[in-house]
C-alpha cells in the first residue's frame, strides 16, 4: 500500500524565498471526493499525474500516484474535473535531509501560503525553519480537496 507521511504548516513570512532553488506551476482538480478518498488529476509543469488519497485526517494517509500524459491531464482538468481547480506555484527549499514544498496559492485561494514536508516516519525529527508558522496538518480546511470546495478567501 502507498503511504504518505506529511506535515503541513502555515508560513509566517517570505524569508524562505532566498533558499528556494526551483519552482513549478501546478494546476489540479478533483474527479471524485467522498468520505473515504479523493481522486485528483494534477498538471505539474510538463508532467501529469492521477492521484488517489485517503480522506483520513492526520500525518499518515494512504496515497497512490500514477504518471499520465500531460495532454491527457490537461484535457481531464478542463472536461471532467469538478469546478474549483486549485492553482498554485510550488517552491522547493532544501533543509538538511529534507525538501520543503512551499505552495503559494493563486486565484480564489490567493494569500494562502503552506509549507509541507514528507517524512519517513510519523515521529521523525526535522528542522523547523524560522519562517515556519502554525501546524495545520490536522485541520482539513487546508487540504487541497477542501480548498477546491471551500476556498481560503471565503473563510
What residue segments make up the domains of the chain, in order of their start? 3-154
Q: What is the pLDDT of residues 123-153, one digit of tens each?
A: 999 999 999 999 999 999 999 999 999 999 9
Which residues of the chain form beta strands (DSSP E)? 3-11, 20-33, 37-44, 47-54, 60-68, 86-95, 98-105, 113-118, 132-135
Cell numbers standing for residue 54: 485517503
Mean pLDDT on 23-38 = 95
Q: Which residues touch 45 (CB under 8 Å, ≥6 apart)?
A: 24, 25
CATH H superfamily, domain 3-154: Hypothetical Protein Pfu-838710-001 (2.40.320.10)
Which residue of the set 30, 64, 143, 152 is catalytic? 30
Asked whether residue 53 carries a pLDDT value surpassing 90, the answer given is yes
What's residue 124's pLDDT? Answer: 96
Instruction: Please indicate whether residue 30 is annotated as part of the active site.
Output: yes
DSSP at 82:
P
**What confidence category does residue 56 fall into, taking pLDDT thresholds of 50, 70 and 90?**
confident
Asked whether residue 14 carries a pLDDT value surpassing 80, the answer given is yes
Rounded to 5 degrees, φ, ψ at 139 are -105, 100
Q: What percent of the chain has pLDDT over 90?
A: 94
What's residue 1's pLDDT? Answer: 56
What's residue 2's pLDDT? Answer: 86
Amino acid at each position: 500500500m502507498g503511504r504518505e507521511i506529511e506535515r503541513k504548516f502555515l508560513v509566517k513570512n517570505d524569508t524562505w524565498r532566498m533558499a528556494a532553488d526551483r519552482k513549478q506551476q501546478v494546476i489540479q482538480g478533483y474527479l471524485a471526493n467522498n468520505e473515504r478518498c479523493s481522486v485528483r488529476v494534477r498538471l505539474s509543469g510538463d508532467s501529469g499525474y492521477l492521484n488517489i488519497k485517503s480522506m483520513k485526517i492526520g500525518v499518515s494517509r494512504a496515497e497512490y500516484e500514477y504518471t499520465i500524459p500531460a495532454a491527457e491531464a490537461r484535457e481531464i482538468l478542463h472536461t471532467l474535473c469538478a469546478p474549483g481547480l486549485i492553482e498554485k506555484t510550488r517552491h522547493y527549499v532544501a533543509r538538511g535531509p529534507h525538501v520543503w514544498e512551499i505552495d503559494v496559492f493563486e486565484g480564489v485561494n490567493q494569500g494562502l501560503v503552506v509549507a509541507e514536508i514528507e517524512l519517513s516516519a510519523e515521529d521523525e525529527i526535522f528542522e523547523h525553519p524560522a519562517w515556519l508558522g502554525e501546524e495545520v496538518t490536522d485541520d482539513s480546511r487546508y487540504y487541497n480537496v477542501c480548498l477546491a470546495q471551500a476556498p481560503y478567501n471565503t473563510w
